[in-house]
Amino acid sequence: MTNLVYLDNNATTKVDPLVLAAMLPFFSEQYGNPSSMHSFGGAVAAHIRTAREQLAHLLGAAPDEIVFTSCGTESDSTAIRAALDSYPAKRHLVTSRVEHPAVKNLFEALSKKGYRTTFVPVDGQGRLDLDALYDSLSEETAIVSLMWANNETGVIFPIEEVSRRVKERGIVFHTDAVQAVGKLPIDLEKTGVDMLSLSGHKIHGPKGIGALYLRKGTKFSPFMIGGHQEKGRRGGTENTGAIVGLGKAAELAKQHLDAGGYRGVSELRDRLEETILAGVPNTMVNGGREHRLPNTTSIAFEYVEGEAILLMLNEHGICASSGSACTSGSLEPSHVLRAMGVPFTAAHGSIRFSLSRYTTAGEIDLVLEKLPPIIARLREMSPFWKSANADAHGK
Ligand code: PLP
């Protein structure tokens, strides 16, 4: 079998072996319920407390401000619905045009239920139109929800500044930081963020676990109503193994960040990107390169189909993802690339490479060896490429 070259870490990440080791006892001997009165359950509760502290430490938060959920999507839904429940007279919500479906589709559903929604535009570099954002705010606005970093392009929004300005207007601020957490230093104390969503499986933790940061004093009503778990903020017996795993993953992410580990990741990403741009004609990077996650690049290969590139990379064991979404049988360029105004011929052939702390120089070399001939072969077969070249040569 070909060796796997996994460059799809914004989709999900490998569980760190230390995370798995920390989790395993909670699926065997340490199966107690943390809510039980006996010390067998109490011992498990102590591990949950540790996980809460580890995660709080990564975010610059207090342990009490962490609520464990089942995933990033649940955290997003919980935050947005909590603001609407807490301020029932306010019927307006603001987000951006480039959010993950976890926020985008919820906004669209709420819009159908009669809420007024604003989707703030971005420019060609994926930067938020700050004037449009601030102009949209009113007495009626219940919440502003903006992603910290984009999952497709890696472009970072200026959340520290924007959250403070939104807070000054007395409006609740939520950020979907699923892609930012663990990859960027975050100190929530220095922001106006009221609520923040994150997900375990994006930071070398397990799937099926996420968390919501809830700033002390923020009005809240739970999405999952049930037992008194998570101080009544999220009912349901705790997913103990996964919580412990998320705590360990947060601890490892903090160590990696503090040690400047992402410098190496961004050097590999930059070499991949620059060598492709220099060696393959008609390619460009989607989104501004200045304020971007260190691990992500979205590259448009004009006049070829992203899915064809992916399939051919897959034959060499290389995993990446495309900038298209398969909706009702047709391959539509993603809403993110469309919002940025990326031309159809480029958006259609866009590939996202997302690296991790496990990515090696040898893996990047393999992509750089295999990818250019794939693009050349696909272009030979592309009628669009042929006619574009004929146009360019005045034929
Ligand atoms: N938000 C962003 C920006 C994401 O990238 C993702 C996952 O891809 C999510 C939310 C959803 O997270 P989860 O898969 O944990 O529900």
Dist CA 249 CA 43 (whole Å): 20
The reply to whether 223 and 267 lie within a common domain is no
- Flag whether 11 is in a domain: no
Ligand 1 neighbour 242 (Cβ under 6 A): no
Q: What is the CATH number of the domain that holds 328?
A: 3.90.1150.10
The domain boundary residue, chosen from 257, 283, 304: 257
User: What amino acid is encoded at 297 in this protein?
Assistant: T
Answer yes or no: do 222 and 352 share one domain.
no
Do 373 and 357 fall into the same domain?
yes
Strands (DSSP E) found in 70-153: 92-96, 116-120, 141-147
Whole-number Å distance between alpha carbons of 68 and 247: 10
Q: Do both 171 and 209 map to the same domain?
A: yes
Query: Is 83 part of any domain?
Result: yes
pLDDT of residue 328: 47
Q: Are 330 and 349 part of one and the same domain?
A: yes
What does the pLDDT profile of the chain (395 residues) look like in tens digits?
578 999 999 999 999 999 999 999 999 999 999 999 999 999 999 999 999 999 999 999 999 999 999 999 999 999 999 999 999 999 999 999 999 999 999 999 999 999 999 999 999 999 999 999 999 999 999 999 999 999 999 999 999 999 999 999 999 999 999 999 999 999 999 999 999 999 999 999 999 999 999 999 999 999 999 999 999 999 999 999 999 999 999 999 999 999 998 999 999 999 999 999 999 999 999 999 999 999 999 999 999 999 999 999 999 999 999 966 654 455 788 999 999 999 999 999 999 999 999 999 999 999 999 999 999 999 999 888 888 887 666 54
Indicate if 78 and 183 belong to the same structural domain: yes
Q: Is residue 6 in some structural domain?
A: no
User: CA–CA separation, 230 vs 336, rounded Å?
Assistant: 35
Q: In this structure, are 269 and 239 located in the same domain?
A: no
Place of tokens 């574009």: 388
CA of 179 to the centre of ligand 1 (A): 7
> What are φ and ψ of residue 54, in 5° steps?
-60, -45
Asked, for residue 3, whether it belongs to a domain, the answer is no
| Confidence (pLDDT) at 275 | 98
Q: Tell me, yes or no, whether 236 and 323 share the same domain.
A: no
* Residue 99 belongs to some domain of the structure: yes
User: Is residue 179 within 6 Å of ligand 1 at its C-beta?
Assistant: yes
Mutate to test the pocket of ligand 1, among 75, 77, 151 (most ligand atoms within 8 A of CB): 151
12 inside domain: no
Closest listed residue to residue 353, CA positions, set 367, 343, 366: 367
Instruction: List the CATH number of the domain containing 157.
Output: 3.40.640.10
Instruction: Give the pLDDT confidence score for residue 101 in this predicted structure.
Output: 96
C-alpha pair distances (Å), 21 with each of 170, 352, 370: 44, 31, 36
With respect to residue 296, please indicate whether it lies within any of the assigned structural domains: yes
d(CA 150, CA 284): 18
Mark which of 257, 280, 299 sits at the end of a domain: 257
Binding site membership of 102 for ligand 1 (Cβ less than 6 Å) = yes
pTM of the predicted model as reported, rounded to 2 decimal places: 0.96
Q: Are both 70 and 197 inside the same structural domain? A: yes
Number of domains in the chain: 2
In angstroms, the first-to-last Cα distance of the chain is 46
Residue 319 annotated to the active site = no
Residues 231 and 372 reside in one and the same domain: no
Q: Is ligand 1 within 6 A of the CB of residue 79?
A: no
Residue 330: the pLDDT is 59
Q: Which residues of 20-58 are buried (b: 16+ CB within 10 A; e: fewer)?
A: bebbeebeeebebbbeeeeeebeebbebbebbbebbbeb
Burial of 307 (0-12, 13-18, 19+ CB in 10 A): middle
Cα 100 to middle of ligand 1, angstroms: 7
Question: What percent of the chain stands above pLDDT 90?
Answer: 92
**C-alpha torsion 18→19→24→30, nearest 10:** 110
In a domain, 5, yes or no: no
Mark which of 257, 288, 315 sits at the end of a domain. 257
Rg of the chain over CA atoms, in angstroms? 22
Structural domain of 122: 17-257
334: left (phi over 0), alpha (psi -120 to 50) or beta: beta
Does ligand 1 come within 6 angstroms of the Cβ of 151?
Answer: yes
Residues 247 and 319 reside in one and the same domain: no
Do both 184 and 214 map to the same domain?
yes
Type of residue numbered 307: E
The 10s digit of each residue's pLDDT in 145-182 is 999 999 999 999 999 999 999 999 999 999 999 999 99
Report the nearest-CA residue for atom 12 of ligand 1. Answer: 72
